[in-house]
Amino acid sequence: MRWLIISDFHYGLPQFDWLLGVAPQFDLIIFAGDALDAGSIVDYGAQVVVVRKYLERLANITRVIFCSGNHDLNAKLETGEKIALWIEDIRDCGVVCDGEAVIIEDIIFSALPWWDGPYIKQKLLAQLASDAERRQGRRWVWVHHAPPRNSPTSWTGKQSFGDIELVEWIASYAPDFVITGHIHQSPFVADGSWADRLGSTWVVNAGRYYGSPPAYVVVDTFQNEALWLSAMGGQLVRLNEPLKRPIAPLMALPNWFERMPASAV
């Protein structure tokens, strides 16, 4: 199975166009949050309409998993906590999103919501406990917008902005993979990285590149490899081997990888 991992498009429509063009090459697209941009001059409601249409079209091409990020929150609960209410519509279009899990082949994928208060946090913890019972020897992948604290995947170049509680949850459940975003700079700065390993758990954060194509990660489960590509170059790790730092620059694309178009479609 081949996954395409992206995040933090922040209403970058050329990147969404590119994504539609390459989607047929993948068995699964994993979008780790921040499809919208809270700082955009485009009305939030208008962004929702456009992004929802993109995700609906993607779901008609291949499987899609999406978790909310902090920029995706467009409503408040009575508790005052923010939520991404608009994703209820994409759930109806076949996108696996916040609070849901799906089993594909021998892997269970859990889409975890962005949380900024105790109510959503408790729902997330309940989901982890429930999905852990469904694991039953399967590999387990979490899609969670924020990376863990004190990881190269959460390093801005000055400090770590990762989630300290995620570190504890990883230690408790030992998922095989945690797919994140949120910290745009991590793969591009000294002491940062797109890949990390906490015990047996791989963590990836593709980072954000302001153009088309975006920075992205491709995981090939048959080859047991993860490939990161951006305008700054590429790197590759073997998922069944220890992580060695520094990760060497990629000198040539692996034979299994099909080069994707650089321009929007």
Q: Which tokens is 256 given?
A: 């299994």
Residue 215 scores a pLDDT above 90? yes
Give the residue, 258 or 164, on which the prediction is more confident.
164
Q: What is the spatial distance between Cα 39 and Cα 6, in angstroms, rounded to a whole number?
A: 20
Taking each helix axis from N to C end, the angle separating 44-59 and 13-22, rounded to the nearest 10 degrees, works out to 10
Domain ranges of the chain: 2-238
State whether residue 241 is helix, strand or coil: coil
73 closest CA partner among 37, 40, 122, 43: 37
Q: Grade residue 243 by pLDDT with cuts at 50, 70 and 90.
A: very high
Q: Tell me the β-bridge partners of 76.
A: 82
Residue 265 confidence (pLDDT): 35
Q: What is the pLDDT of residues 11-68, one digit of tens each?
A: 999 999 999 999 999 999 999 999 999 999 999 999 999 999 999 999 999 999 999 9
Q: What long-range pairs does 53-56 form, CB within 8 A, spacing at least 24? A: 54/16, 54/19, 54/20, 55/31, 55/90, 55/93, 55/95, 56/90, 56/93, 56/95
For residue 261, pLDDT beyond 80: no
Provide the 8-state DSSP code for 170: H
Residue range 2-238, CATH number: 3.60.21.10
pLDDT digits (tens, 9 = 90+) for 170-207: 999 999 999 999 999 999 999 999 999 999 999 999 99
pLDDT band of residue 116 (cuts 50, 70, 90) is confident
How many whole angstroms from its chain centre is CA 68? 10
Check whether 262 has a pLDDT greater than 70.
no
Question: What pTM was computed for the model?
Answer: 0.96
Measured CA distances, 188 to 19, 224, 229, 230, 252 (Å): 22, 24, 11, 10, 19
Query: What is the pLDDT, as a whole number, of residue 264?
Result: 38
Please say if the pLDDT value at position 260 is more than 80: no
* Predicted local confidence at residue 167, as pLDDT: 98
Q: What would the two tokens of residue 117 be?
A: 């208060």
Structure tokens at 195: 């890949």
- The predicted-structure confidence for 124-182, as pLDDT tens digits, reads as follows 999 999 999 999 999 999 999 999 999 999 999 999 999 999 999 999 999 999 999 99
Q: For position 258, what pLDDT does the model report?
A: 75
Closest CA to 86 of 220, 162, 95: 95
- CA-based radius of gyration for the chain: 17
User: Cα 88 from chain centroid?
Assistant: 19
Average pLDDT over the chain reads 95
Which token pair is 215?
């920075």
Instruction: Show the CA angle centred on residue 170, arms to residues 63 and 247, nearest 5°.
Output: 75
First to last CA, the chain: 24
